[in-house]
């Protein structure tokens, strides 16, 4: 009897701890929202779009300006042979010379030597005389054969006296023997002069007559008189010599 009572008493007990049903899940923590990070992401996107728009607008705001393609000595001017046009971003703080102002720029003189590759700005040019002390400018009217082909501004040349037939000669008062000697190896009228101007390829108005070529040299003042006298009679020939240009040095 005791055994049965003990068995009956244990019949209503569970054999193990109660387990949750299969359909039930443990509760999860609610997801934390971060509105500050979301706002920062939106702000970065807007800033990127604004920056891209600014770059596009700056790239479109460009102007056509003058660029120097060949060195321009001090006191010389630009012409179509030593400039070209380039596009640059417009900047009010830089006084660019616009390509549309080229004709006006040709009437001005370089205040200092301008190297090739520089973009022209207003401060580089002026209307006054820019000759250094002890220098003079002499104009020549030369025929073919009296100047080297391809002569350009900034070239350093020597000026020799020549006779009407193109051979080198001494002074007009010299004897024929001295003229012959001068022709074979006489000293130049000017040993070193700088070409400060030659006409551009489309400057037909700079041609003297139908065949003569107008060239301007910057020389030492002491050589100017002799060179001008020879130029007046057309008895000058130019020879390009090595050296760095330097306003007639």
Note the maximum CA span of the chain: 170
CATH fold of the domain at 62-126: Type Iii Antifreeze Protein Isoform Hplc 12 (3.90.1210)
Q: What is the pLDDT of residues 54-74, one digit of tens each?
A: 665 555 688 999 999 988 877
Q: CA-CA distance, 248 to 112, in Å (whole number)?
A: 14
Q: CA-CA distance, 90 to 62, in Å (whole number)?
A: 5
pLDDT for 18 equals 56
pTM: 0.47
Burial of 128 (0-12, 13-18, 19+ CB in 10 A): exposed
Q: What is the pLDDT of residues 88-103, one digit of tens each?
A: 988 888 899 999 999 9
Give ranges for CATH 3.90.1210.10 in the chain. 62-126
């Amino acid at each position: 009897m005791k055994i049965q009572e003990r068995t009956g008493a244990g019949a209503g007990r569970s054999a193990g701890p109660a387990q949750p049903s299969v359909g039930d899940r443990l509760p999860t923590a609610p997801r934390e929202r971060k509105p500050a990070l979301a706002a920062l992401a939106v702000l970065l996107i807007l800033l990127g779009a604004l920056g891209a728009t600014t770059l596009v607008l700056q790239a479109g705001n460009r102007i056509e300006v003058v660029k120097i393609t060949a060195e321009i000595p001090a006191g010389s001017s630009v012409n179509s042979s030593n400039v070209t046009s380039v596009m640059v971003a417009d900047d009010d703080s830089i006084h660019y010379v616009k390509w549309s102002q080229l004709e006006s720029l040709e009437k001005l003189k370089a205040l200092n030597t301008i190297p090739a590759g520089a973009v022209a700005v207003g401060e580089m040019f002026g209307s006054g005389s820019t000759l250094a002390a002890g220098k003079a400018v002499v104009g020549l009217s030369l025929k073919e054969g009296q100047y080297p082909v391809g002569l350009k501004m900034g070239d350093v040349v020597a000026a020799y006296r020549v006779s009407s037939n193109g051979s080198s000669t001494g002074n007009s008062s010299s004897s024929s023997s001295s003229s012959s000697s001068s022709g074979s190896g006489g000293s130049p009228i000017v040993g070193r002069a700088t070409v400060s101007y030659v006409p551009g390829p489309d400057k037909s108005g700079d041609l003297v007559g139908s065949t003569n070529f107008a060239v301007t040299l910057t020389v030492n003042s002491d050589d100017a008189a002799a060179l001008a006298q020879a130029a007046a009679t057309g008895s000058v020939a130019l020879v390009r010599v090595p050296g760095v240009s330097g306003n007639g040095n």
